[in-house]
């Protein structure tokens, strides 16, 4: 079964922030683990979830995994994303869609925070 991945972000009025998400999605796709990868935005960015999923289905995806580009499980992931997934599922009968947890709690996140703090503290002492 072909799997499509959606990197789902909030979206920003600052287009460079949206472009950063698109770049992360491209790098994710370049890893070679998944070939069908799209970015999607809740608001203030394009494409939205419906368009991204349609692109994946057009590319042959029969299962879609939505990976939230969110740190925590806030109202958008608890309220808005389930509603959007339900709407998209109704547009694509037979398509399996699931959502992963947000980034919060992942052990790699602490490593990233430590790296940022170490880099900043090293710069201060120079």
Give the CATH number for residue 22.
3.40.50.1400
- Alpha-helix runs per DSSP H in 31-106: 49-58, 75, 81-91
Average pLDDT of 61-79?
A: 95
Of the candidates 72, 73, 77, which has an alpha carbon nearest to the alpha carbon of residue 42? 77
- pLDDT category of residue 105 using cuts at 50, 70 and 90: confident
Sign of CA dihedral 37, 18, 68, 23: positive
pLDDT tens digit sequence for 50-59: 999 999 999 9
Hunting for tokens 């600052």 — which residue is that? Answer: 14
Hunting for tokens 């979206």 — which residue is that? Answer: 11
Structural domain boundaries, residue 86? 3-125
Reading the block at residue 20, the tokens are 């950063």
Average pLDDT of 11-40?
A: 96
Reading the block at residue 105, the tokens are 């709690």
The total of structural domains in the chain comes to: 1
Average pLDDT of 28-34?
A: 94
Average pLDDT, the chain: 94
* Confidence at residue 123, expressed as pLDDT on a 0 to 100 scale: 85
């Amino acid at each position: 079964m072909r799997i499509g991945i959606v990197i789902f972000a909030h979206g920003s009025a600052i287009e460079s922030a949206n472009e950063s998400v698109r770049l992360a999605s491209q790098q994710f796709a370049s890893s070679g683990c998944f070939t069908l990868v799209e970015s999607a935005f809740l608001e203030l960015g394009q494409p939205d979830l419906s368009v991204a999923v349609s692109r994946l289905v057009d590319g042959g995806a029969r299962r879609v995994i939505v990976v939230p580009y969110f740190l925590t499980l806030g109202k958008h992931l608890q309220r808005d994303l389930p509603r959007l997934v339900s709407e998209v599922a109704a547009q694509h009968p037979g398509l399996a869609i699931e959502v992963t947890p947000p980034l919060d709690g992942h052990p790699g996140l602490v490593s990233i925070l430590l790296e940022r703090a170490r880099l900043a503290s090293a710069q201060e002492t120079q």
